[in-house]
Amino acid sequence: MTLLSAENLVKDFGGLRAVNVGAFDLPEGEIRAVIGPNGAGKTTFVSLLCGRIAPTSGTIRFEDRDITALPAHDRVALGIAYTFQITSIYPNLSLFENVMLPAQRRAGLDRTNDAADRAMVALERVGLSGRAFERAGAQAYGHQRLLEVAMGLALAPKLLILDEPTQGLAEGEIENFNALIRSVAKESTVMLIEHNMNVVMALADRITVLNFGETLAEGTPAEIRANPDVQTAYLGG
């Protein structure tokens, strides 16, 4: 079943066409990586999908419902969670309080105990439960990135979109992150924008390659690795 799709999706900024994707389909239960050179339009593309910015033209559907005109908060309510390329946390709140905010949204404000349980489970899954009551702004950048993932998980999303999730993670933390995403994929569809090709090749079921805002190629990791156009534009081979 197709969970998310886009057709003739265009975003113009003045005279610049940042995104021009004819067709995009994301099946339910898949781990999809979106890769491409800097400036390829990756973040703009996923920002269109999650409703942070509006398209110039085109259609976006989620569970076969047209969501093109829906604002981001309504898409969150439908089950789309998105973590930002640049950390977007509340630095003066504790890690627990940061995760409680989306957890309360999911559980309902009248069910605080459920939200607290959900928040602690999310922190445990990303390996931060031992830091739950420390100030978020005092954490290393990699831990702030993991905190954002926990905030997304607290929403129990149908689709979790991660923008550069391994940025700032130590090499030893990457293996744990990969295990986390494989676990998340058992219950949610995952889309990640990622520059770490070892992570992409280890996790992705399929890869979409963007270049100059357009789809250059799409396929399995093996197909993308062997694609001469991708090698020229991005993989450097």
Q: Which residues contact 112 (CB under 8 A, 6 or more apart)?
A: 104
Average pLDDT over residues 58-65: 97
d(CA 75, CA 97): 23
Give the rounded percent of residues in the chain with a pLDDT score beyond 90.
78
Per residue in 112-126, pLDDT (tens digit) is 568 899 999 999 999
d(CA 197, CA 200): 5
Higher-confidence position of 109 and 134 = 134
Per residue in 180-207, pLDDT (tens digit) is 999 999 999 999 999 999 999 999 999 9
pLDDT given for residue 142 in this prediction: 87
pLDDT given for residue 97 in this prediction: 96
Higher-confidence position of 24 and 166 = 24
> Angle formed by the axes of helices 95-107 and 112-125, to 10°?
130
Domains with residue ranges and CATH for the chain: 2-79+157-235 (3.40.50.300), 91-156 (no CATH)
pLDDT given for residue 145 in this prediction: 87
What pTM did the predictor assign?
Answer: 0.91
pLDDT given for residue 236 in this prediction: 62
Q: How many other C-beta atoms are found inside a 10 Å radius of the C-beta of residue 74?
A: 12
Per residue in 146-158, pLDDT (tens digit) is 999 999 999 999 9
pLDDT given for residue 171 in this prediction: 86
Tokens of 77: 């309510």
* Average pLDDT over all residues of the chain: 92
Q: In what order do the strands lie in the sheet with 57-62?
A: 16-27, 2-13, 57-62, 65-66
- Of the candidates 187, 188, 196, 136, which has an alpha carbon nearest to the alpha carbon of residue 163? 196
pLDDT given for residue 109 in this prediction: 44
Look up residue 228 and give its amino acid. Answer: P
